[in-house]
Chains A and B, each alone.
Chain A
């Protein structure tokens, strides 16, 4: 089935460690997005990519990094510079960017111990 796969679903990290969240899609979409969601809140955009080898910062990019070496993959690294990384992270993709529907993965919940 076509869709977006995020892994891991749950992740625990010690303070000072970097962690990478995986996002893979087989929908042949050009655009991919990473959002962060805090409890009871909406989604805030971290990074987005409209095409392979290109990406732009979103509203809360500090402490995060991404790469887009393949169309199917858009991994997010939460670095030790991110001061409050405990959150629910959602990856999405779209064939038409913001002019079309976003397809979301099931999310990765990161907890910093």
Chain B
């Protein structure tokens, strides 16, 4: 499968701690995106990082991309209870046409 794989599947942390989750994939990409999903809701876009970029920041979010290792990480700093959600990476594979392929997600629980 070309699907991105997130690791870990679930993460439980205390408020104020950092949360890191990883995404690995198998074939060349044009870009990689991260999305957030609150329970029972639609997905919300967080960050898009292109294959020629190595790091991007947005507020408390930091995304890195290592194309040599075919992996990306999402770091949430100083987590809050409101960050409790599932986080998904989505990849635009070069050979796949104009569509995004989503991974299985990381479920993050931030305890107050």
Contacts and interface: CB of A to CB of B under 8 A. Distances in A.
A and B are interacting partners: yes
Interface of A: 4, 31, 33, 35, 40-45, 48, 50, 56, 58, 88, 90, 92, 97-107, 109
A106 B103 contact: no
A104 B92 contact: no
Interface stretch (B36-44, B67-75, B77-85): B36-44
A100 B45 CA distance: 10
**Chain A binding surface, main DSSP class:** strand
Given A50-B98, A102-B35, A109-B40, 13 more contacts: A35-B102, A42-B102, A43-B102, A44-B102, A56-B97, A58-B99, A92-B43, A98-B92, A98-B97, A99-B92, A101-B48, A102-B45, A104-B43
Interface string B31-73: 1010100001111110010000000000000000000000000
Interface residues on B, range: 20 to 34
Interface of B: 3, 30-31, 33, 35, 40-45, 48, 88, 90, 92, 96-105, 107
A104 B44 contact: yes
